[in-house]
Amino acid sequence: MNVEELEGRLTELASEAVAHLAEVADRENAIQVKNRYLGRKGSVQELMAVLRELPHEDRRRAGQASNRCKEAIEEAFRERLDDLARQELEERMVAEALDVTLPGRRSTLSLGHPLRQVERDLIGIFAEMGYEVAEGPEIEEDYYNFEALNFPPDHPARDMQDTFLLTDGRLLRTHTSPVQVRTMHAYEPPIRIISPGRVYRCDSDLTHSPVFHQIEGLLVDRGITLAHLKGTLTTFAERFFGAGTAIRLRPSYFPFTEPSAEVDVECFFCGGDGCRVCSQTGWLEILGAGMVDPNVFEAAGIDPDVYSGFAFGLGVERIAMLKQGINDIRRFFENDLRFLDQF
């Protein structure tokens, strides 16, 4: 074989290899084909064995022809790998495509149980006024629930509380007021607390549940008067029911406050004109309040000649029912999502 023939054979080999590479379907096959031509025992190397037979002056030319052939094959190999990678990517993009025009699934973001929402709002308003949250036990001693709150044994006011008594002499607390006493035992004035929690009474109808929720407030300091109580409750009513909401205090009786009052807010449905919700009175009763009775201070170890204070207590269910127009208290406790999802 002379050098011209060798050049011809190398060109043929190159185009044969290029054609081969164009047909391979994956990377492994491309490598195999490339090695078949360019490997140590590949076709190009095999062909170049004739180099030894060529005259010296032709060897350089033969070597250049061999390099051109190898480069052509290498280039075809690289291009094929690029093509295969591109192809694979395109296939994956098609296979993994997301249709972003499909409408999304609606996620349900819960704001919590309607009672918790009201409780959270109420606590938030008093927290802004500097009140701290205090808690007490639901299984309570007679002392904290009644005696220290100035309900003497056999006092008729105990009757109003429909108490669940436990066999060990303790009871399920009938109100959050015992937290007043526990707090005054534990801390020196000035005291400013708000106490949310569950309370229990043996009572059940459209507006009464054997378990319900109250929020208690207590403020004790030097020089506290009924005016402070009224100002505080007015601020609360305006924040919770809307600016300009008036309140009124009606004389009442609680053993642990003197004087005591029932507190009404101007009906937020009719603005005070009179409607079905407020039974045409223009007012809604929302809480009980009063000045802490000196007997309660004495039981709690606070000197009533130095300190005075006010307390108030409200029912969370009642406020939630008024605000949301709910007429059956049992709705809160049935866990019916058709009801709960409306809030």
Q: Show the site string, 299-328: x = touches ligand DAH by CB under 6 A, - = not.
A: ------------xxx---------------
Nearest-angstrom CA–CA distance, 49 and 165: 110
Read off the tokens for 211.
Answer: 């378990």
70 or 175: whose CB is closer to ligand DAH? Answer: 175
60 or 250: whose CB is closer to ligand DAH? Answer: 250
Nearest-angstrom CA–CA distance, 332 and 119: 13
Nearest-angstrom CA–CA distance, 204 and 232: 32
- CA distances (Å), 258 to each of 74, 150, 160, 283, in order? 102, 11, 18, 23
37 or 307: whose CB is closer to ligand DAH? Answer: 307
| Sign of the dihedral through C-alpha 251, 254, 256, 261 | negative
3 or 219: whose CB is closer to ligand DAH? Answer: 219
Read off the tokens for 239.
Answer: 């924040």
Q: Show the site string, 209-248: x = touches ligand DAH by CB under 6 A, - = not.
A: -------x--------------------------------
Q: What residue ranges in the chain does DSSP mark as E strands?
A: 132-133, 139-140, 171-172, 191-200, 211-221, 247-254, 257-266, 283-292, 308-315
66 or 257: whose CB is closer to ligand DAH? Answer: 257
Provide DSSP, 199-268.
EE-S--BTTB-SEEEEEEEEEEETT--HHHHHHHHHHHHHHHH-TT--EEEEEEEETTEEEEEEEEEE-T
* Residue indicated by tokens 């127009």: 325
Q: Binding ligand DAH by CB under 6 A: which of 145, 245, 257, 308?
A: 257
189 or 290: whose CB is closer to ligand DAH? Answer: 290
The conformational region for residue 246 under phi > 0 = left, psi -120 to 50 = alpha, else beta, is: beta
Asked if 290 interacts with ligand DAH (CB under 6 A), we say yes
54 or 289: whose CB is closer to ligand DAH? Answer: 289
Smallest gap from residue 338 Cβ to ligand DAH (A): 31
Nearest-angstrom CA–CA distance, 310 and 182: 16
Cβ-proximal residue to ligand DAH, closest one? 313
Read off the tokens for 79.
Answer: 């291009």
Residues 168-197 that bind ligand DAH (CB under 6 A): 175, 177
Smallest gap from residue 203 Cβ to ligand DAH (A): 12
Q: Binding ligand DAH by CB under 6 A: which of 146, 254, 283, 332?
A: 254
Smallest gap from residue 304 Cβ to ligand DAH (A): 16
Smallest gap from residue 141 Cβ to ligand DAH (A): 16
Smallest gap from residue 182 Cβ to ligand DAH (A): 13
47 or 233: whose CB is closer to ligand DAH? Answer: 233
Is 69 exposed, middle or buried (CB count within 10 Å of its CB: 0-12, 13-18, 19+)? Answer: buried
Smallest gap from residue 280 Cβ to ligand DAH (A): 25
Strand pairing of 191-200 and 132-133? parallel
Chain positions contacting ligand DAH, by CB under 6 A: 175, 177, 216, 254, 257, 288-290, 311-313
